[in-house]
Each structure stands twice: as C-alpha cells, then as structure tokens.
Chain A
C-alpha cells in the first residue's frame, strides 16, 4: 500500500537526536514488525496506536505492517514515539496528505481513545529539533506552552490524534472535549513548589556570623559548609537561601527548564523556570535520584535539577560515599555524565553547594561536649567522609554555634531580613557582572582560576596574607584562588572598587574556618 515517514527525537539526557520513523504497509500475513532497538515502552506502542487509530475513526490496516526507526542502532526509550508511529502509519495508508509532515517533529503519547497525553522532556526534544533545522513540532496540548518557549518554531499543540489528523489535512479540527493530560497531577508540583521561596531569613534567631557567611555565599555563588549542632538553624538558613538570589538569566532559565522538563516537573500553564531551583535530597535517597540515572531512560537527579540553583545536602556526611564521589565531576565541570554499557547521558549540573553537618555522629559534640558519646576515631572517620576533592572546593567553612538564650530573645532587624540581604546580594552581583562585562561569567565563583588571576588580580599590597599562607603551606594554590574570589565578593558587598586588606583578611577567615585572617563582616549583617 505504501510507506510513510515521520520524525521524532530520542533523548540522551538533555541532548536530543532526530529519529526517523518509517512505516510500511504491504500485502502479506497481517502482522506487525518493529525494528530499531525499541525498548518495552516503544514495543507496546502497537497496542496504543491500534486503539487510538481505530477510536479516531480511522482504519487499522489488516496487512503486514513494518515500522522501522532510524538510526537503527540508537536505543529508543519512551512512549513519545506513539504519535510519530501513528502518523507514519496514517501517511502510509494515504490518510494524510503527502508531504504534510515535512520538516515536522512529532512527540507524544497516545491514549487508547486517541487522546494525546503529555510526556516529559518536550523542551529539550523540541530544542534539539529546532537546532537540527526542524520548522514545526506537534506536541500534546499540555506540553505546548513548554514548546512555545522557543522562538521561531511553529508549535502545534493537539489534544488528540483526530485533531492532529484534521490539522494536518487542513480540515476543521473536531470540538475539544475535556482532556486530562498525564501531567495534570504533576503540574501542581510545578516550580512554585521547588522550595526555597518561603520563610524569611530573619526567622532564624542569632547566628550573625552564619548569616554573614550566607550573604557572602549568595553574593559570589560560593560553596558553603555549615557545621554545627542540631537545632542551631543550619537547615532553616539553607532553606531561605534561594530567596536571596536574583532571577535566572534567560539562557539559564532555558537550561534549567530543559532539565526540569525531562523530570516532568514543569508547571503546565507557565512552564519556564525563572527562579534558581533548590534541591535538598535526603541522605537516605537512592544514588540515582541524587546523581541521575534510572532503569530505562536516564533521568536527571537532584544535582542536575539544581542546575543554576542550590543543592543543599543536609546531614551531608551521612550521604553515601558514591554521592560524594559523584559530586566531583559537576563541581569541576558543571555537568554530570552517567555512563551505561549502552551509552552515556550528560546533564548540566552547575549548582551551588551548601552542606550542613553535625559536629559528630551523635550530634552532641559541641560546647564542652560532655554528653558526646563518640570516640575520637569515630569523630575522625565522620569528618573524613567529606572527601578531599570536595572539601577543597568549599569556599566558606563555618562552625555554627548553638543559639544562646540572649540571642533567642532578640528579634533580627530589617538588615537581616531576606529582602535586605537579597538587595545587597543583587547589588554585589551587579558589580561583579560589570567587571565581567563581555565575558561568559556572572559571579566570582564561576570564573576559572587562571582567568580570574589574569582579569581580577589582587593589588600586590593586599595579597600578602594569602601569599604568606601559601608560602607556609597552609593554603593550596586552588585555595588561594578561592580566597581571592571571596575577597572580591566581600569587596563587592561592601561596594568597594577593589578588595582592600580587610576584605582579604575576611576572605581568609571565611575559608580557613577562622584559623587565619579576621572577620568583621557580621556587624554589617544584622
């Protein structure tokens, strides 16, 4: 009877690849053959397609049907191939005008009644289709706002296969009935619930020095490690952290939305993620849920969902060593590669890391530590769980003290509110951005070491405390770079053109847990 060709996209992480779906209907014993490395969800496509086509008042050909998906050596995972397979079949039967799928990618799952159900990963799929020169996409109506984030691409959001057929044939589409998209329940968990936008910094009593550390971390996007007894406010401060950060840039927003699309986390009406995401995985969570992975399709983990946002690891030392090891690559390169025997997926993971930990396994090793039951070797082993490479990348290390009774009674003033801190953070970031004008960086912490040394050298007279520590072996060269970045951030917060000696001393203090340098920044905070 003929052949029909439709196009779709296969996703490896956020990277998509065009897939050609070919359907051939020819005389022979009625049957169905599907080739091109389909996984189980694609193989089941036949039953969905059959029911959907019949329920869309079309005929299912009782002939020999062969569907091929190319490139044939790429594994096809996911139910979004339903729509291209159905369209290719209809085209092969001549039920659609020839050429109607020219430069068009179809992406969607079919319900048995012919409705189009939403699928995850529309944004990255559509984006890569666009990058491949595709001019038009057909997606489930529920995913249309997501696809429309891309300018210059024609988006057809269809609620059903019947509507698709009508639109492609140039006929009036049938009246829409109420379509319940797959993501209806998920849309409630949209970005409004990504966390980190509730509560005010001033809810946390006392902790002036900790607030100061938080402010510097937010201003320069520096990684932060808070160690201290339970109940001192570490978690509360971390949860209030994202509110201190400015909105995402458009390009950041697209990158974040792509990852969140893959995870099926986008709000339906307004899918674009505009605020820095906040992810706080639990130490009992599975490794793939934190790092990324999964049994069929490789899905992004919390570290990728925190791309351009904040990854908060509470009880950081309780996380499995695998998680700590896996943090190394993204901390270095801003992305994570998950390798499998049948391929690798890459996800962006340029997160800001906030770690919180108890002083010891029993949590009572603070103050005089009289109630602490941990042996010295257990305490040591506990601290050593933080691997050297991760430890070396932490810019600010701070020991949180328990809140004193006097502090409990003091209200935190306006200067310590999220609004005031966010304002100062934004001002500081603007200074940094002016400095990096024309360069791809936004914040001090992002700039690679050699570039930073070249473009933002510290004045020789103020670099002395750092050089001294390097000479005495108390600071590595990487550590020295990190202190220099911190010094710039402190100067940015203070509104200074360039760091002075006090800024450098402050930076040294923050980096070395107060063993060297000295700090006066807390007085400005609250």
Chain B
C-alpha cells in the first residue's frame, strides 16, 4: 500500500471508531477533518457527549492490522477528495441534519476492491435489489433487467446477498457488463460465505464497496445503513421482489428520501414475494417497470433513452370509421351476401353501404363476388 497521508489514516481509524453512517461523526470529520477529530478524542476534549464511546473505541484501534487486512485483499481506501470519489454520495448530506438517530450520514471514506472506478457509478448506475428468498420468476426478471442495463453500459449495483441480489450481479456478468456489490461487512469479509465465488469473480470487472472497517462482521443494523449507499450510488433503484417485511423496501425508502428514481417490478398478486413491491408501487413516488428498456428510460436524462412503446398489432380495421367497421362486421365470411342485406344488418341504406363496400374492397378488406360481398379468406382482422 502506498504511503498514506495523515488525514486518510485518521479516517481509516474513524471507520472503526464510529458506526458506519453515524451522522455526527460524518459531519465532524467533514467539517473539521479526521485528524483534528482523532486528536481531540485522544486528548479527552470531546466534541459531543456521544464522543465518549468513540474515545473508548479509539484506544483499541489497531490501524496497522486494518491496513494489513485490506492489503491482503488488495482493497483501497477512498476519501471524498479522490478523483475516484462519486458525486452521488453528497446527496446523503441532506438527510444528515434531519437524521436524528438515523445512521444516514455521508460516508467520509469507502473501502473498495476491484478494477472498476467508483466514480463510474455516479449518476448512471442502476441498483437492483430484492428478496433473498426469491422465486424463479424474480431471479429471471432481475437477471434480465441487470443484463439489459449492463449491456447498455450501466453499472448494476446490488448487495451481494442471495436471491435477487445474486441474480442481478450474475445477469450483469452474463452480459459481460460491470457490477458493484455494496457490502455490510468489512471489505475483507465476503458475506454471505456461499457467495465468495461470485463476489471474487465480480472484482475482475466490477467492484466491491464497503463502508465498514476491515474485519467488521455484518449485522442487521449495518445492512440497513449499507442500503443507503446502494441507493445513493445509483441513479435509480429497482425492487424486483420483496415481501411485506423486507430489507429491500428499506433501500427503496433511502432512494425515495434522497430523490432517486424508485422502480418496482410487479408479480402475481398471489405471490407473497411480490406483496411488498406492490405495496410500494401503490405509493405515488414509485414507478412500475417491466424490463430494462423501461428502467433505462427512467434513469437517463429525459428523452435520451425512450423505451419502445408497447402495443398490440395494428390492424387495417383500426383505421376505419364506425360505419365501415359495422359493415365489415355484417359481411359474411363464407357465403357471400348482397349489399342490401349487409346494409340492413349494418343499419344503413343500400347506396351508403355500396359506396363503402367498394372502398373496403379497394383496400382488400372485402371481396366482391358474383352474388354479392364476402370477407377475404384471411378474415376481418388482416393486418
């Protein structure tokens, strides 16, 4: 590891001292520098009552061990002044002031591992998150959307967990795209253990990101704090499957709170794994999406990536007026009928009908035969 400047080292120490996302710590480090904060903690001049616990933790921090652990997995530590630092994280600052106890702070540094530059995510990445106990349907849709986004150059961000997260990462890798996993554990601790292969593979073209100090164990609360990074690092968040009580909905909430596009993929209303998404989609700030095109339309500047309009086949009869459609309905398919009887059925006079039938015959929707008119063998719904 190259020589680290004092500020960077102090921030690395701080990752162990304060809980990830602690708004006070984040603000103090940003406003006064970590070096100053660490010094004050050492000297006992505590900046806030909360800092008592920080000072106690600081005494036990072994920064060398952290650096060795990070170096072992070739992780690097990024701070906001680095060119690789992404823009999106500053949006978290707006939550800090109103945070209260919520661990919503803008991170003062991030551990990353992999070949992708973290800055590549800014403003364009797509987060795809969802249930761990996903269904085949959810895995399939998450993989397809991820592959579609990755194929169009977007980085797919997710949490590296089982289920939808894994399907999203795999989908992006299958499209030879790039994907980033934001971990709740330390950067050297791949969690869940069953995914160490996937996460290692991901570093070849993508990135692992963690706010926690190396060696940190993942805990329930850290997952929730981690979710804000998934939301903030991407331009929009897609929730593919989520039960009514699901961590993915927490990511969705972060995305909404910092003004990111919030998207949901519907499922059967009888599927428990889609119930949470449906509940989310019923809120006004979220949008229903069904494929990668629709996602890309929403996370791109307005008008730059419109999704193809989906509609059924256009039939020749669509362009007809009401009277002509009535005539078409009245014209028999097999045995021809005289214009008079067709006119009666269609509710118009024979001359009116004749005029229109001639027009319909010209565009091939009816056929004139010796004893009257009938439909062509292809039926009335020819394209």
| CB contact between A368 and one of B135, B174, B272 (< 8 Å): that residue | B272
* Interchain CA distance A2-B146 in the complex, whole Å: 88
B residues less than 8 Å from A513 (CB atoms): 135-137
In the complex formed, the residue of B with least CB distance to A372 is B272
| CB contact between A370 and one of B132, B244, B270 (< 8 Å): that residue | B244
* Interchain CA distance A366-B267 in the complex, whole Å: 13
| Known A376-B132, A380-B132, A401-B270; contact A369-B243, beta-carbon cutoff 8 A | yes
Interface range on chain B: under 10, 10 to 19, 20 to 34, or 35 or more? 10 to 19
Q: Which of B150-189 contact A (CB under 8 A)?
A: 162-163, 174
Q: How near does chain A come to B190, taking the closest CB pair, in angstroms?
A: 17
**Does B133 interact with chain A (Cβ within 8 Å)?**
yes
* Interchain CA distance A515-B240 in the complex, whole Å: 14
| CB contact between B136 and one of A359, A369, A376, A512 (< 8 Å): that residue | A512
B131–A376 contact, CB under 8 A? yes
Interface range on chain A: under 10, 10 to 19, 20 to 34, or 35 or more? 20 to 34
**Does A367 interact with chain B (Cβ within 8 Å)?**
yes
* Interchain CA distance A372-B272 in the complex, whole Å: 9
Q: How near does chain A come to B170, taking the closest CB pair, in angstroms?
A: 10
In the complex formed, the residue of A with least CB distance to B192 is A377
| Known A513-B136, A515-B136, A515-B137; contact A370-B275, beta-carbon cutoff 8 A | yes
**What 1/0 mask marks residues of chain A from 375 to 395 whose CB sits below 8 Å from any chain B CB?**
011011001000000000000
**Does B140 interact with chain A (Cβ within 8 Å)?**
yes
**Does A473 interact with chain B (Cβ within 8 Å)?**
yes
* Interchain CA distance A359-B134 in the complex, whole Å: 12
| CB contact between A366 and one of B163, B174, B272 (< 8 Å): that residue | B272
**Does A365 interact with chain B (Cβ within 8 Å)?**
yes
In the complex formed, the residue of B with least CB distance to A401 is B270
For chains A and B in complex, what number of residue pairs have CB atoms within 8 angstroms? 48
A residues less than 8 Å from B174 (CB atoms): 473
B residues less than 8 Å from A380 (CB atoms): 132-133, 162-163
A residues less than 8 Å from B244 (CB atoms): 368-370
**Does A474 interact with chain B (Cβ within 8 Å)?**
yes
A residues less than 8 Å from B133 (CB atoms): 360, 376-377, 379-380, 383
A residues less than 8 Å from B243 (CB atoms): 369, 372, 376
In the complex formed, the residue of A with least CB distance to B174 is A473
| CB contact between A376 and one of B135, B163, B275 (< 8 Å): that residue | B163
B residues less than 8 Å from A377 (CB atoms): 132-133, 162
* Interchain CA distance A368-B163 in the complex, whole Å: 19
**What 1/0 mask marks residues of chain B from 239 to 274 whose CB sits below 8 Å from any chain A CB?**
000011010000000000000000000000010110
Q: Which of B342-383 contact A (CB under 8 A)?
A: none
* Interchain CA distance A513-B140 in the complex, whole Å: 12
* Interchain CA distance A383-B244 in the complex, whole Å: 20
| Known A380-B162, A473-B174, A474-B140; contact A369-B275, beta-carbon cutoff 8 A | yes
B272–A367 contact, CB under 8 A? yes
| Known A512-B136, A513-B137; contact A369-B272, beta-carbon cutoff 8 A | yes
Q: How near does chain A come to B129, taking the closest CB pair, in angstroms?
A: 13
B residues less than 8 Å from A365 (CB atoms): 272
Q: How near does chain A come to B136, taking the closest CB pair, in angstroms?
A: 5
Q: How near does chain A come to B138, taking the closest CB pair, in angstroms?
A: 9
In the complex formed, the residue of A with least CB distance to B161 is A376
Q: How near does chain A come to B360, taking the closest CB pair, in angstroms?
A: 32
* Interchain CA distance A367-B275 in the complex, whole Å: 8
B residues less than 8 Å from A383 (CB atoms): 133
A residues less than 8 Å from B135 (CB atoms): 513
A residues less than 8 Å from B275 (CB atoms): 367-370
Q: How near does chain B come to A366, taking the closest CB pair, in angstroms?
A: 6
A residues less than 8 Å from B272 (CB atoms): 359, 365-369, 372
B270–A366 contact, CB under 8 A? yes
* Interchain CA distance A515-B163 in the complex, whole Å: 16
B residues less than 8 Å from A360 (CB atoms): 133
- Counting chain A CB atoms within 10 Å of each CB, the highest count among B131, B137, B140, B270 belongs to B270
Q: How near does chain B come to A284, taking the closest CB pair, in angstroms?
A: 26
B residues less than 8 Å from A512 (CB atoms): 136
Q: Which of B216-259 contact A (CB under 8 A)?
A: 243-244, 246
In the complex formed, the residue of B with least CB distance to A228 is B270
* Interchain CA distance A252-B314 in the complex, whole Å: 56
B residues less than 8 Å from A369 (CB atoms): 243-244, 272-273, 275
B residues less than 8 Å from A473 (CB atoms): 174
Q: How near does chain B come to A466, taking the closest CB pair, in angstroms?
A: 16
| CB contact between A367 and one of B136, B163, B270 (< 8 Å): that residue | B270
* Interchain CA distance A383-B322 in the complex, whole Å: 56
In the complex formed, the residue of A with least CB distance to B133 is A379
Q: Which of A369-424 contact B (CB under 8 A)?
A: 369-370, 372, 376-377, 379-380, 383, 401
* Interchain CA distance A513-B174 in the complex, whole Å: 23
* Interchain CA distance A360-B273 in the complex, whole Å: 12
B residues less than 8 Å from A474 (CB atoms): 140
B residues less than 8 Å from A514 (CB atoms): 137
B residues less than 8 Å from A368 (CB atoms): 244, 272, 275
In the complex formed, the residue of A with least CB distance to B247 is A376
**What 1/0 mask marks residues of chain A from 452 to 495 whose CB sits below 8 Å from any chain B CB?**
00000000000000000000011000000000000000000000
Q: Which of B114-151 contact A (CB under 8 A)?
A: 131-133, 135-137, 140
* Interchain CA distance A516-B270 in the complex, whole Å: 18
* Interchain CA distance A473-B144 in the complex, whole Å: 12
Q: How near does chain B come to A229, taking the closest CB pair, in angstroms?
A: 10
* Interchain CA distance A372-B140 in the complex, whole Å: 24
In the complex formed, the residue of A with least CB distance to B243 is A369
A residues less than 8 Å from B270 (CB atoms): 366-367, 401
**What 1/0 mask marks residues of chain A from 332 to 369 whose CB sits below 8 Å from any chain B CB?**
00000000000000000000000000011000011111
In the complex formed, the residue of B with least CB distance to A378 is B133
B residues less than 8 Å from A379 (CB atoms): 133
* Interchain CA distance A368-B243 in the complex, whole Å: 8
* Interchain CA distance A367-B269 in the complex, whole Å: 7
B residues less than 8 Å from A401 (CB atoms): 270
* Interchain CA distance A384-B174 in the complex, whole Å: 24
B residues less than 8 Å from A366 (CB atoms): 270, 272
* Interchain CA distance A369-B243 in the complex, whole Å: 7
* Interchain CA distance A473-B147 in the complex, whole Å: 13
**What 1/0 mask marks residues of chain A from 483 to 526 whose CB sits below 8 Å from any chain B CB?**
00000000000000000000000000000111110000000000
A residues less than 8 Å from B246 (CB atoms): 376
* Interchain CA distance A379-B133 in the complex, whole Å: 6
- Counting chain A CB atoms within 10 Å of each CB, the highest count among B162, B163, B272, B275 belongs to B272
A residues less than 8 Å from B163 (CB atoms): 376, 380
**What 1/0 mask marks residues of chain B from 321 to 343 whose CB sits below 8 Å from any chain A CB?**
00000000000000000000000
Q: How near does chain B come to A509, taking the closest CB pair, in angstroms?
A: 12
* Interchain CA distance A360-B272 in the complex, whole Å: 11
* Interchain CA distance A369-B272 in the complex, whole Å: 5
A-B residue pairs in contact (CB < 8 Å), sample of 30: A360-B133, A367-B270, A367-B272, A368-B244, A368-B275, A369-B243, A369-B244, A369-B272, A369-B273, A369-B275, A370-B244, A372-B272, A376-B163, A376-B246, A377-B132, A377-B133, A377-B162, A379-B133, A380-B132, A380-B133, A380-B162, A383-B133, A473-B174, A474-B140, A512-B136, A513-B135, A513-B137, A514-B137, A515-B136, A515-B137
| Shortest beta-carbon contacts, A-B, top 6 | A369-B272, A379-B133, A376-B132, A368-B275, A376-B133, A380-B133
Known: A366-B272, A367-B275, A376-B132. 8 other contacts (CB 8 A): A360-B133, A365-B272, A368-B244, A372-B243, A372-B272, A377-B132, A512-B136, A515-B137
